[in-house]
């Protein structure tokens, strides 16, 4: 996984709707392979195209507008990524080039899928998001701040998630960061001190 840039500056595309579900982000009919490639073309297909089969664009859709075609930050409302747990939704966004989503709230599974696939999910109050739209916006992951609309806004992120994004680690990589500690815990140690092993496992 590519590390998230310490500082990201981009136009921020405002898609200010609540309850955007994963079937809208990537409809099942657009999932034509089991891999994570080739999904960007079908991303937001119900909104992005006037005719999805012919790929005739809807000029009113935000990501079709010249100012936001290259946006890597998406702004949205509450409960972003609700619905099914399909990871394809995050894959499609990542392939398109979205690196961060700033929303009022996220569906929990979608939030976790973002972290595991290099997209930074940021939760901010709706009035703050409205104030920074449509950008440009600067995100400083190290400082945990969003700068836009003439102001800086702090955001929270779990320390483990921050480490994964900043170092470009997936869940396995994160575990291997503890390789030395894991390797030092030998079978003899476990046999001699099973109560310690059980405590660590718990």
SS3 98: coil
Q: Is residue 155 within 8 Å of 34, Cβ to Cβ?
A: no
Q: Which one, of 9, 127, 123, lies nearest residue 73 by Cα?
A: 9
pLDDT of residue 133: 85
**Partners of residue 8 on adjacent β-strands:** 139
Q: Which one, of 14, 153, 13, 16, lies nearest residue 77 by Cα?
A: 16
For residue 190, what pLDDT band results from cuts at 50, 70 and 90?
low
- How far apart CA 38 and CA 29 sit, in angstroms, is 13
Residue 124 CA, chain-centre distance (Å), reads: 14
Detail the DSSP E strand segments found in the chain: 7-10, 12-15, 49-51, 56-57, 73-76, 100-103, 120-123, 137-140, 145-148, 151-154
Q: Around Cβ 144, how many Cβ atoms within 10 Å?
A: 14
Q: Which one, of 188, 177, 170, 154, lies nearest residue 2 by Cα?
A: 170
The pLDDT of residue 181 is above 60: no
For residue 199, what pLDDT band results from cuts at 50, 70 and 90?
low
For the ranges 33-37, 112-116, 192-196, the maximum mean pLDDT occurs at 112-116
pLDDT of residue 119: 97
- How far apart CA 25 and CA 150 sit, in angstroms, is 30
For residue 168, what pLDDT band results from cuts at 50, 70 and 90?
confident
pLDDT of residue 169: 76
For residue 179, what pLDDT band results from cuts at 50, 70 and 90?
low
- How far apart CA 8 and CA 28 sit, in angstroms, is 31
The pLDDT of residue 70 is above 90: yes
Higher-pLDDT residue of 198 and 143 is 143
Q: Please, where are the H alpha helices in 11-125?
A: 22-25, 45-48, 88-96, 108-116
- How far apart CA 130 and CA 149 sit, in angstroms, is 9
**In terms of residues, how long is the chain?**
202
pTM of this prediction?
A: 0.84
**H or E stretch covering 37:** none
Q: Is residue 8 within 8 Å of 148, Cβ to Cβ?
A: no
């Amino acid at each position: 996984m590519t590390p998230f840039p310490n500082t990201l500056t981009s136009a921020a595309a405002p898609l200010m709707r609540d309850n955007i579900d994963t079937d809208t982000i990537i409809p099942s009919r657009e999932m034509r392979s089991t891999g994570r490639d080739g999904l960007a073309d079908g991303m937001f297909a119900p909104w992005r195209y006037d005719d999805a089969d012919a790929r005739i664009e809807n000029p009113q859709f935000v990501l079709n507008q010249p100012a936001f075609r290259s946006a890597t930050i998406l702004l949205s409302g509450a409960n972003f990524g609700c619905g099914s747990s399909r990871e394809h939704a995050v894959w499609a966004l990542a392939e398109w080039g979205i690196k961060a989503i700033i929303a009022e709230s996220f569906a929990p599974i979608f939030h976790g899928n973002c972290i595991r696939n290099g997209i930074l999910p940021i939760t901010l109050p709706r009035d703050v998001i409205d104030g920074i739209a449509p950008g440009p916006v600067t995100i400083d992951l190290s400082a945990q701040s969003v700068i836009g609309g003439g102001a800086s806004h702090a955001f929270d992120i779990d320390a483990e998630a921050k480490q994964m994004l900043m170092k470009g680690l997936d869940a396995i990589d994160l575990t291997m960061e503890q390789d030395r500690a894991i390797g030092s815990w030998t079978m003899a140690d476990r046999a001699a001190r099973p109560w310690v092993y059980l405590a660590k496992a718990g």
